[in-house]
């Protein structure tokens, strides 16, 4: 990826660069793939000038080359997984939470999204032969539901030192959706200093949902959410880390069978960017059901596990 700034492009000064960034064109590749008409209206220049900007971006961008399937196969062998500590869930997800990917857990309140997020912050710290990545975790909390007490219980459940475990979780509370997005920038700094292998955003969509009410601003919301998702994806790429995000549901009428079905918030933007999508529901007592809804390489399947004081467990 090119290290050049937008300001380095032909016909792009400070003001134009600012307009581009505001519209979500944060790097040269995004400008290189824009259409001249779209760019012209955003930066208020003629289509010809816009075309010149795009041509300059194409020259500067590292567009890359085609490779063969063998190269991709070799590269995919480098991907790693964080154990969920539960055989049934690991099996569902092909061995655990994959690095260089976004895994989305969505479900109703109490379905266990925050519990899974906590568990993964502990499990990522396990040694590689124990199913972890010997890595640190970053936890971006939008709902004020991070509980060190739960981390301590889960760490003790695995025979880990609770204080050491807490020290390897880098926590930030987000106060609104813009702040949430800014925290990804901060997260990059942390990941340069510590061996971060997991970044959790719990919840991904709560602020976006609350702040952009009404249809008029839906497009703006989706644009910002899109930007956020791509920044997360880029983080996972650069640091070879796993991204885990949680998402609430909204009940939508089921046109085929009547009644209602739960759909994740954020629509296509979130579901197209997430690599693995898991739907969580409550079962009886402490049981929870996880269903893999979408994956590029695993079959749709469903499994049961439990939430206990010591964390996630297989049903005994």
Query: Would you tell me which residues interact with ligand GTP (CB under 6 A)?
Result: 107, 109-115, 143, 145, 248, 286, 307-309
Three-state DSSP string of the chain: CCCCCHHHCCCCCHHHHHHHHHCCCCCHHHHHCCCHHHHHHHHCCCHHHHHHHHHHHHHHCCCCCCCCHHHHHHHHCCCCEECCCCHHHHHHCCCCEECCEEEEEEECCCCCHHHHHHHHHHHCCCCHHHCCCCCEEEEEECCCCCCHHHHHHHHHHCCCCHHHHHHCEEEEECCCHHHHHHHHHHHHHHHHHCCEEEEEEECCCHHHHHHCCCHHHHHHHHHHHHHHHHHHHHHHHHCCCEEEEEECEEEEECCCCCCEEEEECCHHHHHHHCCEEEEEEECCCCEEEEEEEECCCCCCEEEEEEEECCEEECCC
Structure tokens at 59: 């020259």
Asked if the bond preceding 92 is cis, omega within 30° of 0, the reply is: no
**Which of the choices ligand GTP, Mg ion, none does residue 110 contact, using the CB cut-off of 5 to 8 A by kind?**
ligand GTP
* Least spacing, CB of residue 153 vs ligand GTP, in Å: 6
* Least spacing, CB of residue 113 vs Mg ion, in Å: 5
**Which of the choices Mg ion, ligand GTP, none does residue 250 contact, using the CB cut-off of 5 to 8 A by kind?**
none
**Which of the choices ligand GTP, Mg ion, none does residue 2 contact, using the CB cut-off of 5 to 8 A by kind?**
none
Using CB positions, name the residue nearest to Mg ion.
114
* Least spacing, CB of residue 262 vs ligand GTP, in Å: 12
* Least spacing, CB of residue 107 vs ligand GTP, in Å: 6
With contacts defined by CB under 5 A, how many residues of the chain interact with Mg ion? 3
* Least spacing, CB of residue 89 vs Mg ion, in Å: 17
Pattern of binders to Mg ion over 103-142, x per CB under 5 A? Answer: ----------xx----------------------------
Can you say whether residue 201 is alpha, beta or left, with left for phi > 0 and alpha for psi between -120 and 50 degrees? beta
**Which of the choices ligand GTP, Mg ion, none does residue 309 contact, using the CB cut-off of 5 to 8 A by kind?**
ligand GTP
Structure tokens at 34: 């824009």
Alpha-carbon distances of 51 from 8, 28, 35, rounded to whole Å: 16, 14, 8
Looking at the Cβ atoms of 12 and 280, the one nearer to Mg ion is 280
Q: Which stretch binds Mg ion (CB under 5 A): 6-14, 87-95, 144-152, 275-283?
A: 144-152
* R_g over Cα of the chain: 21
* Least spacing, CB of residue 143 vs Mg ion, in Å: 6
* Least spacing, CB of residue 17 vs ligand GTP, in Å: 39
* Least spacing, CB of residue 109 vs ligand GTP, in Å: 3
**Which of the choices ligand GTP, Mg ion, none does residue 115 contact, using the CB cut-off of 5 to 8 A by kind?**
ligand GTP
Looking at the Cβ atoms of 48 and 309, the one nearer to ligand GTP is 309
Looking at the Cβ atoms of 109 and 257, the one nearer to ligand GTP is 109
Looking at the Cβ atoms of 162 and 195, the one nearer to ligand GTP is 162
What are 294's strand-pairing partners? 277
Looking at the Cβ atoms of 113 and 170, the one nearer to ligand GTP is 113
Looking at the Cβ atoms of 94 and 157, the one nearer to ligand GTP is 157
Looking at the Cβ atoms of 8 and 108, the one nearer to Mg ion is 108
Residues that bind Mg ion (CB under 5 A): 113-114, 145
């Amino acid at each position: 990826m090119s290290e050049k700034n937008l300001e380095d492009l032909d016909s792009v000064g400070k003001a134009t660069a600012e307009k581009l960034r505001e519209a979500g064109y944060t790097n040269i590749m995004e400008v290189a793939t824009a259409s001249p008409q779209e760019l012209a209206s955003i930066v208020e220049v003629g289509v010809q000038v816009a075309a010149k900007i795009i041509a300059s971006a194409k020259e500067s961008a590292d567009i890359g080359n085609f490779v063969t399937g063998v190269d991709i196969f070799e590269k995919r062998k480098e991907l790693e997984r964080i154990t969920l500590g539960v055989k049934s869930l690991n099996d569902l997800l092909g061995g655990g939470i994959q690095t260089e990917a976004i895994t989305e857990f969505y479900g109703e309140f109490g379905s266990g999204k925050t519990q899974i997020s906590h568990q993964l912050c502990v499990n990522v710290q396990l040694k590689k032969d124990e199913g972890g990545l010997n890595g640190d975790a970053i936890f971006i909390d939008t709902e004020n539901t991070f509980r060190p007490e739960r981390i301590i219980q889960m760490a003790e459940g695995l025979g880990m030192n609770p204080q050491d475990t807490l020290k390897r979780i880098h926590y930030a509370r987000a106060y609104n959706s813009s702040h949430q997005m800014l925290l990804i920038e901060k997260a990059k700094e942390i990941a340069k200093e510590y061996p971060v292998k997991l970044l959790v955003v719990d919840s991904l969509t709560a602020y976006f949902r609350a702040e952009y009410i009404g249809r008029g601003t839906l497009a703006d919301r989706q644009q910002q959410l899109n930007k956020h998702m791509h920044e997360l994806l880029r983080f996972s790429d650069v640091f070879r880390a796993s991204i885990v995000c949680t998402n609430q549901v909204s009940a939508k009428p089921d046109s085929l069978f009547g009644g209602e079905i739960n759909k994740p918030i954020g629509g296509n933007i979130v579901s197209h960017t997430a690599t693995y999508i898991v739907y969580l529901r409550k079962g009886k007592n402490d049981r929870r059901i996880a269903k893999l809804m979408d994956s590029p390489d695993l079959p749709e399947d469903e499994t049961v596990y439990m939430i206990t004081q010591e964390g996630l467990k297989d049903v005994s």
